[in-house]
Amino acid sequence: MALYSEKVMDHFSNPRNVGVIENADGVGEVGNAKCGDIMKIYLKIENGIIADVKFKTFGCGSAIASSSMATELIKGKPLSQALELTNKAVAEALDGLPAHKLHCSVLAEEAIRSAIKDYYDKNGIAYDKAQFPDPADEDEHHFEED
C-alpha cells in the first residue's frame, strides 16, 4: 500500500487556492515548531459566506495537501459551516493521512479558525471564545479520531 493516497498526491502536486488575498477580511497563521510547518490562510468574506480563500504553506507535502483540501472544503460556505470543519474531515477528504502526518490536518483546521477569529475581531463581531481555543495553550494537539 502506498504511504499517501492519490488525493494527497494530487493536492500536493496541484494545490488549489494557493496565493495571497490582498486586503483579506480575515488572516490566520499557525505553525508547529516540532515539524516546522507554517500555514497562512486568507479569507474574503461576503454576507457571511467565504467568497474566496487562499493559502501559503511552508511545509511537507501533507501540510500542503491539507491546506489545499481544507480551502476547497470551506470555499463558498457560510462561516458557521467553516467553523465546523475538523481535522478528521480534512484527512478523510484526502482519503487518509499517515498517523505521523495527522498534525498537518490539525494545522489546517487551526489556520481556518484563526482566520475566522481575525475576521470577527476586525469587525467587532461577538463570538463564543470556546470556539477558538488557543493552540499555544495546548501541550499536544488533540486529534479527532474514530
How many CA atoms, within 13 angstroms, populate the side-chain half-sphere of residue 122? 15
Give, to the nearest 10 degrees, the angle between helix 6-13 and helix 61-74: 90
Q: Please give the biggest Cα pair distance in the chain.
A: 49
* 3-state SS assignment for residue 16: coil
CA-nearest of 59, 60, 93 to 74 is 93
60 is catalytic: no
Active-site residue, selected from the candidate residues 5, 9, 18, 35: 35
104 is catalytic: yes
Active-site residue, selected from the candidate residues 104, 106, 107, 111: 104
CA-nearest of 66, 137, 138 to 103 is 66
Q: Which residues are catalytic?
A: 35, 104
